[in-house]
Amino acid sequence: MTLRVLPALAPLTGRGLYLHATFGLAHDLLADLAADRIDLIVSAIRPTHHALLAVPLVDEEFLLVGPPSMARTVDAERLRTAPADALAALPLVAYGEELPILRRYWRSEFGHRPANPVALVAPDLRAVLAAVEAGAGISALPRYLAEPALAVGRVIQLHCSEAPPLSTIYLAVRRGAPANPALTVVRERLTDAAAGWGEL
């Protein structure tokens, strides 16, 4: 939302469009959309409610990263042969109490939930990255967010996958909602912008 969606929508304000952005967990926002409390959401989960219509917007690619100080404590051979075991002692920095992103990464790559201790929970991926950089623990983050820190060595990619885990981001609206020109403009703007993002 902060690094891609809102910057893509910013030019619309110059055309007189008023935007009110709400942040939260996808399940809560989808419920608000179905209840007609918001008009559109960018969702990290595919909506299943019959009243909602969703289209794929973009795929996020996740990387497992940690601070260099922690990366140096991991046995390289064990990481190659038994990665989940090699990483098990490292604390996690999570986006939510249920470890939504980390849980998905672990299940995709290692076949089970992480057993690691949780050091910190922060409901903002930029805060998660900042905590990882500061040495609080390791986390799975979207490539577009982690890449600048990786490039300068503030974080290290701990695990490499032939096909990194992906998460599809959806653009969702209510089915049969009355025609709304402003909403149409926002949808078109996001769809056009996402076509240029590639895989995030």
pLDDT digits 0-9 by tens, 11-41 = 999 999 999 999 888 889 999 999 999 999 9
Mean predicted confidence (pLDDT) in 188-199:
87
Nearest to 142 by CA among 65, 62, 77, 67: 62
Q: With cut-offs at 50, 70 and 90, classify the pLDDT of residue 172.
A: very high
Q: What percent of the chain has pLDDT over 70?
A: 99
Full-model pTM: 0.83
pLDDT band at 66 (very low <50, low <70, confident <90, very high): very high
Backbone torsions φ then ψ of 93, nearest 5 degrees? -115, 120
Average pLDDT, the chain: 92
Question: Between residues 103 and 198, which one has the greater pLDDT?
Answer: 103
Pull the structure tokens for residue 129.
């990255």
Output DSSP code: residue 190.
H
Q: What was the pLDDT predicted at 180?
A: 87
128 burial via Cβ count (<10 Å: 0-12, 13-18, 19+): buried
Question: Residue 153: its pLDDT value, please?
Answer: 97
Q: Which among 131, 118, 160 is positioned nearest to 143, based on CA atoms? A: 160
Please report which helix (H) or strand (E) contains residue 139, including its range.
strand 139-142
Q: What is the pLDDT of residues 126-171, one digit of tens each?
A: 999 999 999 999 999 999 999 999 999 999 999 988 777 888 999 9
Of the pLDDT bands very low, low, confident and very high (cuts 50, 70, 90), residue 3 is confident
Q: What is the mean pLDDT of residues 82-111?
A: 94
Whether the pLDDT of residue 200 is over 70: the answer is no
